[in-house]
A and B are shown apart, each in its own frame.
Chain A
């Protein structure tokens, strides 16, 4: 199950950090952050509640890059 989210992030390095943080979040199989299109594509593990997982992803991203936003 893959979903795309709009994000807002200012610098390319920060986008990389968000990607790493999202990948490490429990319930996320894989994540890609596209800085150019300001999008995050998250692949969830089977049987996960997307909304719950995304909340955790957002928290993890905020932790590494306080100035970022994910539009859930």
Chain B
């Protein structure tokens, strides 16, 4: 009786779930036509089944409890819910592929049906096996489809058309049809569909979707332009240099979409497990149906053939490995998708797995922990005001293309009126001499000061010092340094929180600078004054030291490609435009916030935790069910539950991988 109540309850739940899903299905395009059809089928079958379950007894009693009438009614329901499975099983047998799950379900449910006919028992069980199997299948396909869609939407940078000019007219075409060297036109507000070179017009580009950089980039004639950027202000004519399929935008999408092609070791494990599991269970089921009755018979007892066949059938129901097989790749896919929403591109499930085992993180300093651009960090002035000193420095340096001069001009921030400067002379390796507003300005290092015999003050700050003298009077100096990224310190702390045991910094910079950065950011070890090839050697040394865990190397991807590929995991930062970095790295951070490294590690740990939960949970439940079924403690109901229930729970658990924004 309790079992009947549970069954009715479940049917009601399925009906409500169907109604709810109908509503969702109507609201937006979240279901395929096949799914909608199957949902309707499940709904109809469940309603009929519920009616037959609850008031059927009285109706059948009215017709004199005719067992064949009852059979016909249940067969109709069976047909509604299971016709495609029966058909697939039939096709499978014809193709010589016997042991698939369709076949198992048909054998189990038809077997139960025949047993029920023979015993004039309950047909419900046979139908329910099919119904729950269908519910499980539907749920699986819906969940997978939804997460696929979600993930693709996240990466909504695919342009849907390109405008080409032909015979003086502008025509919209599929970006795939554009050849190398064709001229395309990009209007304001449109995405650049294909990589190319600007041949007419100038504009600002929004590159946020590619680089995470919110400042627009200005382009004009002869500038290279990468696809995926949004054109903001002017019309651009672009001569394409690549096919659509090889353009940046396609490559990024490919990278994310195909990430799950590289299978993780836990995925391989499950695939192998499933390969042995299904045949073993089938043989065991056969043995269960034959051996115990024969033994009983041999000892002169009642062989109880029906009971054992029933148990064997239940065994088959529990044998479908799909729950197990689906949840693992789904977890990885969801994890990769969730990460990509956070601007972290992971190139394969295997890398996600390796990342979760990382315990040493090695950084390249420049461009990773520091901004990689020079900035004025301090102005130590004498008698003149700070702004005045900066004014003279900026004007003196106005003609120079040196990064240091540029940083001074940037700090000054105002337009430079070139008529105020004359007689600019650059002394290589020392500085500049110029006449600004009729006064002679010297701006440069200590060598320049010595050359003009000016008494200068040394500075305790670390960085590049630009001394300023006006009319041979020392007026102070400007300190310029490659400054630490605002989040660098937090990023190192976050890594420690994520159980990274050691952080290491490698740099080509001077010992003094390296020591200061390492100290400021609380980095465990640092190695300074390294040439690019020394970095590879250092990483190899660290790899040899750290045999147990994995080592991740973080670089900006500009000249550390060899190191990126040598480490267990190579992480490239803010390098969406750099092909070499995308090629060499296993994980690409779209923007250059170092906090993302810890985030990527936390995502990978969460994802792998869920994968292991699912593996252990599903295998445990399956084995328990098989044992209980064989002992006759659990019936076919529990077997169905073990199959569908575990699948639903595992899939729901797997989808948790997608929610990583709070990590």
Binding site for B on A (CB under 8 A): 10-14, 16-17, 32, 34-39, 41, 62-67
Contacts and interface: CB of A to CB of B under 8 A. Distances in A.
Nearest to A35: B329
Contacts of A35: 144, 326, 329
B92 interface: yes
A62 B95 contact: yes
20 contacts: A10-B137, A11-B137, A13-B322, A16-B325, A17-B100, A32-B261, A34-B260, A34-B261, A35-B329, A36-B148, A36-B330, A36-B333, A37-B260, A39-B257, A39-B261, A41-B258, A64-B95, A66-B92, A67-B88, A67-B91
Interface string B351-390: 0000000000000000000000000000000000000000
A64 B148 CA distance: 25
Contacts of B148: 36-38
A65 B96 contact: no
B643 interface: no
Contacts of A39: 257-258, 261
Contacts of A41: 258, 261
Interface in B89-131: 91-92, 95-97, 100-101
B101 A11 contact: yes
B513 interface: no
A12 B261 contact: no
Contact of B100 (A32, A37, A38, A65): A65
Secondary structure type dominating chain A contacts: mixed
B321 interface: yes
A36 B261 CA distance: 9
A66 B329 contact: no
A10 B141 contact: yes
A37 B257 CA distance: 7
Contacts of A38: 148
Given A32-B261, A35-B329, A36-B333, A13 B95 contact: no
A38 to B, nearest CB: 8
Contacts of B101: 11, 13
Contacts of B97: 63-66
Contact-size category for B: 20 to 34
A13 B325 contact: yes
B271 interface: yes
B621 interface: no
Interface string B137-179: 1001100100010000000000000000000000000000000
Contact of B258 (A12, A34, A66): A34
Contacts of B88: 66-67
Contacts of A37: 148, 257-258, 260-261
Contacts of B325: 11-13, 16
Nearest to A33: B261
A39 B537 CA distance: 39
B654 to A, nearest CB: 11
Interface in B265-322: 271, 274-275, 320-322
A16 B100 contact: no
A41 B271 CA distance: 18
A62 B88 CA distance: 11
Contacts of A17: 100
A32 B258 CA distance: 10
B488 to A, nearest CB: 35
A43 B640 CA distance: 39
Contacts of B96: 63
Q: Which of A36, A38, A66, A67 has the most CB of B within 10 A?
A: A36
Contacts of A10: 137, 141
A13 B137 contact: no
Interface string B406-432: 000000000000000000000000000
A47 B258 CA distance: 26
A18 to B, nearest CB: 11
Contacts of A64: 95, 97
A43 B250 CA distance: 20
Contacts of A62: 95
A36 B654 CA distance: 13
B257 to A, nearest CB: 5
Given A13-B322, A35-B144, A63-B96, 20 more contacts: A11-B140, A11-B322, A12-B329, A13-B101, A13-B274, A13-B320, A13-B321, A14-B100, A16-B325, A17-B100, A32-B263, A36-B144, A36-B260, A36-B329, A36-B330, A37-B258, A41-B261, A62-B95, A63-B97, A65-B97
A11 B322 CA distance: 7
Contacts of B91: 66-67
Contacts of B330: 12, 36
